[in-house]
Amino acid sequence: MRYADTTEIGVAMTSGGENLLPILDAPGIERMRPLFGLHNQQLSEILQEFSVSAYRVGQLSRAIYRNWIEDLADVTNLSKDLRDRLTQAGYHIGLPSIVETYKSVDGTERYLISTYDGQTVETVWMPEGDDGEAGDGSETGYHDSTICVSSQIGCAVNCQFCLTAKLGIIRNLTAGEIAGQVVAVLKRHAVQIGRDRINLVFMGMGEPFLNYDAFMDAVRLLVHEVGIAESRMTVSTSGIMPGILRFAQEPVRPKLAISLNASNDKVREQIMPITRKWDIQHLVNAVRQVPLRSKEKLTFEYVLLGGVNDQLSHADEAGKLLRRVGRPLKVNLIVWNPGPHMPYDMPPPHRVMEFQARLKHNGIPAFIRRPRGRDIYAACGQLKRTVAVRTNPLLPVFPFLPDEP
């Protein structure tokens, strides 16, 4: 078992911010042998074990990542003999599957997607506008939709306003489980890569930068094998400074969003205890290292909690702070999405508008994010696993009992 500690990225925090929790990587995954999630070099090595020329890797990779074939037996461009031998050796495709769907009145869909060890993870599909029709109203089945992807089961960061935090951290997702959420949802909606516009936001359950390697492996698979442009991806972090610094060095990477959520360390510490480890100034210094591409902007998210961080003085303070960042940026204002037993209030609509206006007055472009799927707990910060399924009786189910739907 690997324990997160403060010497690496994986700092895991509970209420006081000091306790360390185990961060489990997927247990027993090496015995399961899923192919989905492996990059081409790894697939080539497997083929070579079976004395098959590495040049066939393209066929296998296309079957998995482009054609979304779920059963090895259906990969008919490989010989039957090879398919049988792979299966006998325990290999299978292992694309995660959607086990439950919740549909919102606004068209948003929230899925529970099962992983190999019987855990479930949440993924959200947000169709844009007229849901499946072209923007001009013609019925072409054209999509411009967004998939919100999880990076961990639960989260260790313990932001006080976030429902996912209540789960604690259960385990890291593998690269296959992260990229697999995307493919499972693309397949459900018969999305055509190259024709339909798909945006990915890594803003589901978990802190992507506390599962850095698997998250970035998944990004590379999605870009190089599945075929989604990195410019259509955004990752949000609560501010894991070493992760931001590593991210700044990546040749292929999504756009970056930072969950700022407060205009000073005092307020931020109350609502995001991780501030005690890396304060706002550390974050600002780290994001300045990220080389931006042409027209790229940093995003700062700001969850508005009524009476806590939504005063006009906070908008002034945030404006001042963000001007000092000295990089192209914008603010996304998110009205707090309520959850059961949480001691916060939504700010009144006029306050949200005033806050936005004040930021703009201070020279900061600010947008109010439309809440999606609130009625099905699919909106930001509402993702919390609601059902545990057990698909593999050989593996343990982690002790988690949902306390509300």
What's the min distance (Å) between Cβ of 272 and ligand SAH? 8
Diameter over CA atoms, the chain: 70
How far from chain centre, in Å, is Cα 8?
Answer: 21
337 binds, among ligand SAH, ligand SF4, none (CB under 5 to 8 A by kind): ligand SAH
Report d(CA 124, CA 337) in Å as an integer.
Answer: 15
3-class SS of residue 283: helix
Contact 373, 125 (CB under 8 A): no
* Near ligand SAH by CB under 6 A: residue from 237, 263, 275, 356: 237
Segment near ligand SAH (CB under 6 A); pick from 14-22, 74-82, 123-131, 377-385: 377-385
Segment near ligand SAH (CB under 6 A); pick from 65-73, 121-129, 329-337, 397-405: 329-337
Amino acid symbol at 177: E
In sequence order, what DSSP letters do the residues of 153-203 get, joined into one string?
A: EE-SS--TT-SGGGG-EEEEPPHHHHHHHHHHHHHHTT--BTTBEEEEEE-
Q: Which residues are designated catalytic? A: 122, 380
Q: Is 203 in the site for ligand SAH (CB under 6 A)?
A: yes
In sequence order, what DSSP letters do the residues of 188-253 get, joined into one string?
A: HTT--BTTBEEEEEE-SSS-GGGSHHHHHHHHHIIIIII---GGGEEEEES--HHHHHHHTT-SS-
- The backbone torsions φ and ψ at residue 126, rounded to the nearest 5 degrees and listed phi first, read -120, 100
Q: Write out the two tokens for 185.
A: 């949802």
- When the beta carbons of 65 and 247 are compared against ligand SAH, the nearer one is 247
336 binds, among ligand SAH, ligand SF4, none (CB under 5 to 8 A by kind): ligand SAH
Determine the residue with CB nearest ligand SAH.
381
Question: Is the CA virtual torsion 334, 338, 344, 348 positive or negative?
Answer: positive
Q: Write out the two tokens for 247.
A: 């991210």
- When the beta carbons of 210 and 226 are compared against ligand SF4, the nearer one is 210
65 binds, among ligand SAH, ligand SF4, none (CB under 5 to 8 A by kind): none
* Near ligand SF4 by CB under 6 A: residue from 64, 75, 126, 157: 157
Q: Is 223 in the site for ligand SAH (CB under 6 A)?
A: no
Report d(CA 158, CA 16) in Å as an integer.
Answer: 9
What's the min distance (Å) between Cβ of 139 and ligand SF4? 37
Q: Write out the two tokens for 134.
A: 């072209």
Report d(CA 81, CA 199) in Å as an integer.
Answer: 39
Q: Is 256 in the site for ligand SF4 (CB under 6 A)?
A: no
Q: Is 259 in the site for ligand SAH (CB under 6 A)?
A: yes
What's the min distance (Å) between Cβ of 132 and ligand SAH? 26
What's the min distance (Å) between Cβ of 400 and ligand SF4? 16
* Near ligand SAH by CB under 6 A: residue from 301, 322, 366, 372: 301
Segment near ligand SAH (CB under 6 A); pick from 65-73, 139-147, 183-191, 376-384: 376-384
What's the min distance (Å) between Cβ of 72 and ligand SAH? 34
With contacts defined by CB under 6 A, how many residues of the chain interact with ligand SF4? 11
Q: Is 13 in the site for ligand SF4 (CB under 6 A)?
A: no
Laid out side by side, the sheet with 97-103 consists of: 97-103, 109-114, 120-126, 144-148, 197-202, 233-237, 255-259, 298-304, 329-335, 366-368
Q: Is 331 in the site for ligand SF4 (CB under 6 A)?
A: no
Question: Given the rule CB under 6 A, which residues bind ligand SAH?
Answer: 161-162, 203, 207, 236-238, 259, 261, 301, 303, 334, 336-337, 339, 380-382
Q: Which residues bind ligand SF4 (CB under 6 A)?
A: 155, 157-159, 162, 164-165, 206-207, 238, 381
